[in-house]
Structure 1
Amino acid sequence: MILDQIIFSKKAQSKGFEKDKSSEKPLRSVLKALSWRVVGTLDTLIVSYILTGEIALATSIASVDFVTKLILYFFHERIWNKIKWGK
């Protein structure tokens, strides 16, 4: 899905279509999501460890949190990118 958007974007540009300057590329959204999730996951890991006192459990919680929230953030960004309000 992401690769389709990247490939389509490059094909559209090569065919002379005007590039949308107000829209982020999917790859940028992925990198933003990853960087934010690293920060968020470290927070979850620390809080989970403080609450449970078990590093294995805290790591498990942080791992699940990383994956689920990365996916949610990516789609959140892509939906907001389609909304014209405030641009």
Structure 2
Amino acid sequence: METRMRSLTKATSWQGLGLVTMSALGYVFTGSLTSGGILAVSSGIVGFCVYLVHERLWAGVRWGWHPVEERRRDDGWGPGRA
């Protein structure tokens, strides 16, 4: 399991990459850095909101969900494993 800080760092770098990519595409299609930037920021905000709704909807779906079973310490998967 990764740490929250790693998850946050990955999400931030992914969002930054998305903003740069969308800005470049917006510039290519409109010829305007301003329009490309507005498109990128708008897309990021809308995408974030839609993602949150999507995640909350999927949180209620139990298909493909398996409960995590606790493992015994002596099975090699405990915290002392190198």
Is TM-score (shorter-chain normalized) higher than 0.5? Answer: yes
Whole-Å Cα distance in 1 between the matches of residues 53 and 10 of structure 2?
Answer: 12
Partner of 1:62: 40
> Between Structure 1 and Structure 2, whose CA radius of gyration is higher?
2
- What are the within-5 Å matches in structure 2 for residues 1-87 of structure 1? 36-87=14-65
Aligned length: 58
Cα 1:37–1:79 change in 2 (3 A) is: farther
TM-score with structure 2 setting the length: 0.55
Give structure 1 stretches of 5+ with no counterpart.
1-29
CA distance in 1, matches of 2:30, 2:36: 7
Shift of 1:74: 0.7
Answer 1 or 2: which has greater helix percent: 1
TM-score, normalised with respect to structure 1: 0.52
Question: CA RMSD, aligned part only?
Answer: 2.6
Inter-partner Cα distance in structure 2 for 1:62 and 1:85: 34
